[in-house]
Structures are given as C-alpha cells and as structure tokens.
A and B are shown apart, each in its own frame.
Chain A
Amino acid sequence: MAERSFAKEVQKLRLGDGEEFSGEGILAITKALLECGVGYVGGYQGAPISHLMDVLADAQDILGELGVHFEASASEATATAMLAASVHYPIRGAATFKSTVGTNVASDALANLASGGVTGGALIIVGEDYGEGSSIMQERSHAFAMKSQVWLLDPRPDLPTIVKTVRNGFELSEASNTPVMMQVRIRCCHVHGSFETRDNVRPSMTVADALDKPLRDTNRIVLPPASFLHEHEKIKARWPAAVDYIRKNKVNEFFGAKSGKIGIVMQGGMYNGVIRALQRLGLADIYGETEVPMYVLNAVYPLVDEEFLDFARDKDAVLVVEEGQPNYIEQAFGAMLYRSGATVKLAGKDYLPMAGEYTGQVMLDSIGNFIRDFAGDMLPDTVRAPNVEAPVIDVPNLAANVPGRPPGFCVGCPERPIFAATKLVEEELGQHHIASDIGCHLFSIMPPFELGATTMGYGLGPASASAFNAPDAKRRSISFVGDGGFWHNGLTSSIGNAVFNQNDGVIVIVDNFYSSATGGQDILSSRADNKTKSTKHPITAAVKGMGATWVRQVDRTYDVGKMQATLKEALTTKEKGPKVIVASSECMLNRQRREKPIVAKAIADGKRAVKPRFGVDEDVCTGDHACMRLSGCPSLSVKTLDDPLRDDPVAAIDQNCVGCGNCGEVAEAAVLCPSFYRADTIHNPTGAEKFADRMRRRAIGWLQSRRAEKRLNFAEV
C-alpha cells in the first residue's frame, strides 16, 4: 500500500468526451495514456514520478476494464524491456521512472529497444529530478535520447499541453518506429490544473491478442547483420520521419510577435519561467502575450533545422534557454547556423549560467541582460533606466543563524536504532569504512549519525564496498542496502557478487517492508497482502539462496542491544565470506497510517487498546543531549526550564511521539541516563485491570504520603 492513496482521484480517469478534468499533472498523464489507447504500462517508482505509479496501482480496476496490463516493474530496466511488446505488435505501451537514475538503469534495454525500433507506439515518461527538491546527481536525460536516438519531448508545464504531448508521443513513435521519451520536471508532476478530456480508448490490440498470435521478425533483433542496418535505418528513415511528424503536427510552438530583432528559443519546460521573466521586465502580460518572438521546443530531440533557421532569419540575436549541461541544443543550433552561413548572434550559456537550475532570478537577470544588449529599446523606461536606484535593503545576513534542515528519519523510524547501534559499535571497535546505498537509510550520512562514505547507486551499497576485501586488514567494511535496492538489483550485484568473490565484509539489509523512500510501495518482501502482487518473500531466503552462510535476522530493529551485539559479532566472527544481517521493522510512516485508524476505531468501539508514548523526566535530565546524538528524532527536542539554576535546555518529547522505543533502548544500551520513561495508556481496560490498578495506586499512594510526611515537599510549578 503506497503512502498516498489516489482511490478517490482515479475516478476522474473515467471522464469522457468534453468533460473537465481538474487535478495533478501526474493524474493528467495517466488519463492521457488511457485516451491514447495504451495497451500496457510498467514502471518503477521514484520521485517525482512515484505518484504516477501509485495512480496506476490504484486505477487497476479501470485499467482492467479497458484491457490494459499494468505492472510494477522490478526495475527501470525491466520497465523498459517490457516495451519489447511494441516491437512486433501494434500495441501502444508506456514505461515510467525517475531520471536520470532510472534512465541509467534502463539504458541497456533502451539501447536495444531503440536499435530494432518499434511498431506500436512506445512512450517512456521520465520524471526529470533536477533542481530544487531533487535527491540525485544533477544530470540530463537529454544525453540518453541522443546516444540511443530515441526522441525526447519536453512539454510546456500546463495540463492541456502535457496531455497533447502524450498523444504526440505515441503518434511520433509510430510514425518513426522509434521509442519516445517525454520528460516532466519535479514541479510539473505536482502542478494542479485542468484540461478537457476525451473518452478512454480500448487498445486496438491487447497483450492477450498478441499472445494468441505471436509474431517475429529477425530484422528487428539486435544481432549482426540487422544491428548494422538499424543504425542506417535510424538516420535514413526514422529521423526524417520524426522531423516530418514534429513539423507537420506543430509539436513545437511559436508565440509572440512574428518578427523582431531578437527571439528566444526554449525547452517547453522552461516556458513559464521565461514568461514570468518577461512579465517582470514589462514585456509580457499575465496571459503570456508578448512582443518578443518565442520558439518553444516541446520536442527537444530531434531538432527541426528548418523551423529554427526560419525563426532565426532576420533576427539580430537569438537566446537559447536550455537548462542543464552540456548545452546540446545550443551546440546543435550553432552548427545549423554556421552551416547555413547565418550571421545572427546565438546566445545561450553566455547569458545564462552553464550549470544549475534556472530559477526566477536567474531567468530575470539573464533574459534582462540579453534584451538590454540586443533590444534595449523594447524595455519600458522604468526597467531600462529606472529613475530611482533599487533600494538597498539592509537586512542582516542570517546565513550563520538559520540552521540547515536537510531531510532525515521520520518520527519513530525503525532505521534510526540501526544507526544508533552502528554508532555505538564504532565507539567500541573504532571507525569502519561504511558504504551507503540509495533510500531513506542514506540519511545516516547526516548528523547525528554521520555514518557512510559513499553512495554508488540503487542496490549497489555492498557492491561499492567490494574492493575492501583484504585478508590482512584488521577491520571489515560495513555496507548498507535497503530492501528496495536489494530487490531492484542488490541481490545479484551486491549479495551474489560478495558470495562469489568471498567478500569478508558486513552487509546490513535494511528491511522496512516497503520501498519507503519512494512512497511506501510494496515489494517482494512486503508483509502486506496485495491483491495483485505476490508478497511475503523473505529476504533471508533469497540471501541464503545466493549462497551466503552467515545470515542473521533481527526482527525488531528497536532492540538496540541486539542490533549492537549482532553487528559486533558480524565484525568479529572468524567465519569467512559475507556476513549478512537483515534488520527488519516496518516503516513507521506506513505503520502509523495502517494502524492509527484501526486503533482509533478499536478505542471508539470500546475495545481494549494500548497507546505507547515516551517522556522525559525534566528534573532527572541534565541537558547534555547525548540521547539526541543517538537519535535525531523530530519528536525528541529541547526545551528551556523555568529554573534560574539551569543553564542548558533539557530534553523533551512532543505529542508526535509514537512510542517506538528508540529513546529508552538507546539510553539503556549506551548507559546514558534514567530520564526516559515509557507511558502506555490503556484504553478501555478490562474490569480486572481497573480493579488491580485501583489497588496498586492505593498502595503506592499510601507509600508516597508516608514518606511525604517525614520530609519537606515542594509543589511543582
């Protein structure tokens, strides 16, 4: 079960001709797929595209009615390989994943798919995780499109254009026998808007039909001599066909004045940002009406030479707004202009920064400078030569004051005690080389744990420690991999590799029952019942199946003492080969979402229920904060006491505490202090419980008052 449910929203997918759809970008893309008669969809979750997978998973009934096959693929490579169904059969298929990380994984399948080409439309929707909010290396998907010669669409970020581009994508793919990628940026995926819907279309051929009438064509398979022919076919047939489609169907758009001294060319995704800059320069209204000629590339690869050269003709200068680097588009335009003998000034990364996100300020400064240099007379006087200098705001610099707030483990996260235990083991045995992986557990690299030296890719944590296998070393490496990464490719690339190469390191598999960082989707080892997926496959069985012999299962990661002991044993045992610890406890975010309503209902129904919470005795706490250096839990914080004798704030636990136990376990394992207590509220206790409680409290009360009589008692303030 995913973190966010779209059960209600997916009903919008049933809207028909002429109705208005209003919702998130992601949902609009799903609706567009159905309107285009897609036959099958697969993908791998990951922001910003996770919700697309969640929407599809929640929409399985609707997909089923239409005969559309949906799969939560094992990896991006799997999802892309799935598009092989469109090679011989005229079935439209779509795959989706996060890019560029997903595209990296997919590129083997992508290259093979692109070589042989497709018959049915094959659309890959990539969530371009670039700029603010991104969690990955900053690269461009553009390079993949170029190297495999698949076409890349980059729609303007409004719903009607996105929906139209999905349709263009399928048609372009079929017209040119080439897979097509459509990239949507982070905020575009989560933009709210509306568009006019069409009826959903049943695929003209379903995967079932194809299975009944199998086809094959040796010429479509990547093996010589066909593979040599594919390369020529790409250039001689598919490329011109693609350019032809893009031009005829006006995939790219022209806005603003028909002619002018200057012009701006941009990726579709940059359009709104460019318009905002023009608005602020006084050159556009809020509807985007402008005197500046604009050429918007909803198709960024391939480029249409004629369109661009026409646009640039008679202009003094053209600015290319192309986010990310290298500046492939600008380079291509430069070559086109040079070959055509044009004299127009081509501007791009000389006005705009080479690297980094094109934020509002970047756009405003760069476009402003460009226009000032080449068409200053267009600018309103107030912008070109303001009478008053922009006021200098004397705001104190808060850089030193405002603390950074990177993402971290949630309240009650079961991964926290794993790293608390690791930190304690390191205090005892010294620092180790620790290899991290992709997933929530990568937060271990931040304070308070600061554990982990590298991250090399999903499921590659242990693989990235494989060089550290020296027989004469005194310490072993420790590597982490999450359950998501483990099933994605860690089982073979990391575990299999370690077994085969007799790696002596320690591997910790962080098993929290979901692919949690991406939004809590089910995976093979999930404990949940899933109507359409096969779950409950233990990680230990898979690891042992790979040949690992030293395998330990820790069933409650909050048991810091056990976690600590298991890690210590793994680091010191004489046994050779990889030492694998599977540390399992359910992702607290998902657990709370699952359990909270159940407990609330039980309490309301008068059934007995226990609600745990932790607290701190503020008069016992001395304000050293050692507990926080082993936690970082958002609900464990500091507060100032109204006591002139105290210098430092003490620990305090807020209402959000879910009673996971980490505080108490850590205090116990690290011998910190006795300030923590756990308070379990028993809702709807049994009669016997109530009676025993009354008796106990009476006895305790008597003891308390007996002592109080013999001393001085100060009221708490």
Chain B
Amino acid sequence: MNAPLSPPAPSPKDTAAEDRIISIATLAVGGQGGGVLTNWIIDVAERNGFRAQSTSVAGVAQRTGATIYYVEMCPDRGRQPVFSLSPAQGDVDVLIAAELMEAGRAILRGFVTPDRTTLIASDHRIAAVSEKIVPGDGRADGAEVKSAALKAARNFVCFDMEKMAVEAGSVISSSLFGALAGSGVLPFPRESFEATIEASGRGAKASLRAFGLAYDKAAADRAALAAGGEPPILKPVAAPVRGPKPAPTGDAGQLGQWQALVQRAEALPEPVCEMAMAGLRKTVDYQDAAYGGEYLDRLDAALKIDTGERRDFSIAAAKYIANAMCYDDIVRVADLKTRASRLARVRTEVGAGEATVLQVTEYFHPRIEEVCASLPAGLGGWIEARPGLARWLDGFINKGRRIRTDSLRGFLMLWVVAGMRPRRRGMLRHGAEMAHLDAWYALAAARVESDYALAVEILRCRRLIKGYSDTHARGLSKYDRVLGALPMIEGRADAADWLRRLREAALKDEKGVELDGALKTIASFALPETASA
C-alpha cells in the first residue's frame, strides 16, 4: 500500500533496481482455459514468495473470441507494489499465445519486443470463422507469423502444445504451463510448478503428464539454442515419409489387372508418377480396375502432347482427370458409407471401443436430379425431358432422410445403392460427366501448342467443380464463368496468369463477388479493344 503517511521505504530507488515487476500476458481463444492457466501462474508465484496480481476481461468477450489474461508479479518485500491492470506495448516479459494466430495478434499489438519478451506460442491453428467460410482455402499463413515472431521476440518457444496436451489426455493450459516453466523465464524451480498443478486437484495426473512433455521440449529447445543451434522452429519439418502404399486386397482377377496398371504407372516420367499413382488408386477404388486403365489411357494422351522437358500439363492432367472421373454421385456416397473401413474410422473418431454400441445416423437429402442421374441413361433422360413428371416424382423424393447405418434396414438400403456401382457406366450422370470431361480436356489440349501455361491453367480450373446439388451447380457455374473469359484473355502474354487469378477469385467467396470484380477488370481492358476493332 502506498498510503500518504506510510513510513518512507528504505530508499525506494534501490529496491527498484533490485526488484522488477515481471509481466505475463496470455492471449487465448475464449474457451481455451486461459483462466485456469492464470490461476496457476498466480499460485506458483505465491509459492515462491512473490506477490502477484491477475486481471481478465470476463463476459461476452470470452464467447469464443480472442481474449487476454494478464499477470504481474514481483518478490514480496512486505509492501504492496503498484501493479498495472493491463498489458502495454513494449512492457511484457512473457507472452503466452494459446494459438498461433494469437501470437500474431500479440506481435501486431506490440506486446512482443526484442528487448524483453519471451514468446511462448502453441504451433497449432484454430481457424477463425472468416478463414473457414471461404469456398477455397482461406486459412492464414502461419509461417509468416513465425518468421515475424523470430524477429520480434527475445526468445521464441514454439511447438504444438495442443497436440501434446491431447496426447497426454489433458488440455492446453497444462502444456502451456509446462512450456512456461521449461522456458526458464520465471525464477522458479520445476517442482513448484508441479506442486501448483497437484494442488489444483481434478485431472492433476494428466495435467502433469502434459506439463512434463512441454517442459522437456521447451527446455531441450532452450539448450539447443544456447549451444548455438538455430531456433528449433526454423528446422525444416521432415516431410512425412510416404512409403509405398499397401497393395489392395480382394478379387483375384482384378488384382492381376492392378499389377499391370501399377507397372504402367510406374513407368511414367518421375514427376508425373506420384500423382498418377494417387489418381490410379482413386479411380480403381471409385469403380474398378478397368476404370483405372481408362484413366491411364487418358494420361498417356496428355503425356504425348506434353513436349520437351515440361511436365506441368501432365501433372495437372494426372490430378484433375482423376478427380473428374471420380465425380460425386449417390452410388459413391453409399459405397463410402457402407465400407468396413469407414465404420472403423467413425469408431476411432468418436473414441468408441470395439465393444461399444454405436448408433450412426446419416443425413441425406436426395432430389429427383440425383435419382435420374443414377438411372440408366435412357430412362433418366426420358424423365428429365418431362419437367412435369420430374416435378411430380420430386414431390415423393425431395426431403431430408436420416438413415441409421448401424441398423440392418438402413445399411441394406445404402448397400443396395452401392451395389449399382458395376452399372455406373450406363447411368445418365456418367455420360454427362464424361462429355464434360472430354470437352474440358479438349479445351486445354488444344492450347498446349499455342500457350502451354494457359493449357495447364485450364486443367486446374477443374478445382472449381466440387460438392453436391446446389453447391455442385454453383461450382459448375463458376467454372463456366471463369472459362467463359477465355476469349477475352486468349492471345495475351499473361493469359495464364489471368486465368489463375480468375480461378482464385472464384474460390474467395460463395456468391462469386470477387470473380465478378475480376471479370470486370478483364473486360475493362479486353473489351474496348474488340469493340474498336
């Protein structure tokens, strides 16, 4: 207390030189347990003869949004220091970020400075809503945050503390606490941190496990850095070793065909081979060995026109022809949902043991379009040609259906639909899809000579077509709009670049607002020329 009449302290300036306030700010996403961590920090400080103060902002701010907890502490000399209530730029000793982008936010807000801040950040992402709702990949770049952190922080402790906690059966507050202890930034022994966790009771064992893992990792990183190594975060992550994938099992006749297909694929030029193998597996898995053969035939054609050293066209073809051949229809969905491997995966995901009784409900909403697509081409086309009939039938079909695939009845329904797979080539949808594939491929192939890069970009536009029903229709329309711009850009030196930009714009938002903008930009420089010509 600093009451006006309190006796003068023994030369305040000296104590000031001796004791410093240590400030610790925690940036977390609401619901991550920042409060628990804060209480632990207070506890460990008090255990070590420090005075500490914590503040937080409770309320609506904590509902899944970014939130800050703040602690200040200093050795207890029998007097109450004046602690600040919120973190200030350039005045933070330890910044704990419970998620990578929150570390970025801390840097952005000036809480991380090279003269004093130890930045402890978990190297995992919790995507913000704005990142998730993008039709393409809207996720922010974590590498940029890390490279900024290396410049902004005095020390940067960074590894996946979320994974570590989950593996230990605990939550991230435990591993963050471990990293804090292991970083050595607080003058407290490890045992006192552990005593704090033990005293907190429930779940202490798992918490201690996570704490220990994080402590060891942080301490080891520190030692490595002290020994003159480069920051561990800079070490390239070893790419997951992709050994040869196990051979399939099943029908002996097809297995023989498979061997032959694999030999064909492996004989392809090296840069194409990996993608071709993935494509081969996908197409065979989707239909049968013969379908895989069709895939490789198409790929051979692409390779034939891919001249010189260039292989981009073939790689793109290997990827997108496979995707185009494996269009999403109800047979595919029924097939995927009735496999034994799928059931096993569901059990793993929900953490159900082999003996546990599990009920699985699937959500379907079929429409007449999907039914016609799966009928023999003649019949399906006949119905589609009669809108009145189609509408009438749709009245019976078009509604949400929940199917219990753990029940025999529900499983059988899907099993029967999946059983239509051998007849897929005769279905209405197959014809349409193959025609679309041929047209798309021809569009690209015709430009290999004149504008190689553009041909590759045309293939890549296949990425726009995805999803089911309305989503699929929207994707198709975006695909049409993007490729519809070809006449405007063709012949320009930067045509491929423009097509790429259009595709990327189309993946930015649902309605295609960015795409419209990009198309307008192109029209502004492309159309007047044609008009004046």
Contact = CB atoms under 8 A, between A and B. Distances in A.
Interface string B389-413: 0000000000010100111100110
Contacts of B144: 396, 398, 401
Interface string B277-289: 0110110110011
Most A Cβ at <10 Å: residue of B52, B74, B129 = B129
Given A287-B9, A679-B359, A361 B469 contact: no
Contacts of A446: 129
B350 A394 contact: no
Interface in A376-392: 391
Contact of B251 (A648, A690, A705, A711): A711
A121 B11 CA distance: 43
Contacts of B15: 285-287
Given A47-B60, A403-B140, A709-B251, A398 B148 contact: yes
A401 to B, nearest CB: 5
A179 interface: no
Contacts of B89: 359-361
Contacts of B337: 617, 620, 674, 677
Nearest to B27: A405
B357 A395 contact: no
B200 interface: no
Interface stretch (B100-108, B229-237, B305-313, B522-530): B100-108
A708 B335 CA distance: 11
Contact of B59 (A50, A289, A397, A680): A50
B434 interface: no
B418 interface: yes
Given A669-B400, A677-B360, A717 B61 contact: no
Given A286-B81, A617-B342, A629-B510, A713 B250 contact: yes
Contact of B408 (A133, A613, A669, A699): A699
Interface in A151-189: 157-158, 160, 185-189
A700 interface: yes
Nearest to A700: B411
A407 interface: yes
Interface stretch (B217-225, B371-379, B439-447, B460-468): B460-468
A196 B408 CA distance: 70
B356 A681 contact: yes
Interface string A285-300: 1111100000000000
Contact of B130 (A186, A272, A398, A447): A447
Nearest to B326: A645
Interface stretch (A75-83, A309-317, A630-638): A630-638
Nearest to A642: B240
A672 B341 contact: no
B167 interface: no
Given A645-B282, A648-B137, A689-B357, A187 B85 contact: yes
Interface string B243-287: 001101111001100100000000000000011001101101100
B340 A701 contact: yes
Given A135-B60, A711-B288, A648 B467 contact: no
Contacts of A212: none
A409 B60 CA distance: 10
Contacts, number: 423
B411 A408 contact: no
B449 interface: no
Interface string B101-140: 1101101101001110000000000111111111111011
B129 A276 contact: no
Contact of B350 (A255, A561, A613): A613
A33 B5 CA distance: 26
A714 B248 contact: yes
Contact of B101 (A391, A403, A655, A717): A403
Nearest to B42: A192
Interface residues of A, number: 136
A295 B55 CA distance: 25
B463 A648 contact: yes
A272 B83 contact: yes
B192 interface: no
A408 B468 contact: no
Interface string A642-670: 11110111000001100000001101111
Interface string B1-43: 1111000110011011001110000000111000000000010
B471 A626 contact: yes
B65 A407 contact: yes
A423 B16 CA distance: 59
A361 B362 contact: no
Most B Cβ at <10 Å: residue of A669, A676, A709, A713 = A713
A647 B462 CA distance: 10
B55 A191 contact: yes
A52 to B, nearest CB: 11
B130 A714 contact: no
Given A623-B466, A696-B406, A410 B250 contact: no
A241 B520 CA distance: 73
Contact of A671 (B61, B128, B346, B470): B470
Contacts of A605: none
B64 A132 contact: no
A620 B415 CA distance: 16
A674 B346 contact: no
A677 B255 contact: no
Given A626-B471, A681-B358, A289 B9 contact: yes
B471 A402 contact: no
Contacts of A620: 328, 333, 336-337
Contacts of A708: 249-250, 340
B250 A254 contact: no
B77 to A, nearest CB: 9
A696 B407 contact: yes
Contact of A288 (B82, B356, B358): B82
Contact of A682 (B19, B30, B357): B357
A628 interface: yes
A408 B64 CA distance: 6
A609 to B, nearest CB: 12
A585 B190 CA distance: 47
A351 B491 CA distance: 61
A345 to B, nearest CB: 25
Nearest to B69: A190
A65 interface: no
A685 B406 CA distance: 15
B182 interface: no
B463 A402 contact: no
Given A625-B134, A716-B341, A190 B91 contact: no
Contacts of A693: 357, 406
B492 interface: no
A191 B1 CA distance: 16
B79 interface: yes
B196 to A, nearest CB: 15
B319 interface: yes
A622 interface: yes
A395 B408 CA distance: 61
A623 B135 CA distance: 7
Contact of A407 (B3, B60, B113, B367): B60
Contacts of A591: none
A191 B63 contact: no
Most B Cβ at <10 Å: residue of A391, A408, A446 = A408
A236 interface: no
A8 to B, nearest CB: 12
9 pairs of A and B residues whose beta carbons are closest in the complex? A360-B88, A47-B59, A133-B57, A407-B65, A285-B16, A668-B400, A289-B12, A622-B466, A403-B128
7 contacts: A360-B84, A361-B88, A396-B148, A401-B144, A645-B278, A680-B360, A711-B251
Given A187-B86, A638-B127, A713-B250, 20 more contacts: A253-B3, A285-B12, A359-B86, A360-B86, A395-B152, A405-B29, A407-B30, A409-B63, A447-B133, A517-B59, A626-B470, A634-B64, A634-B126, A673-B471, A674-B362, A680-B360, A681-B358, A682-B356, A689-B357, A712-B251
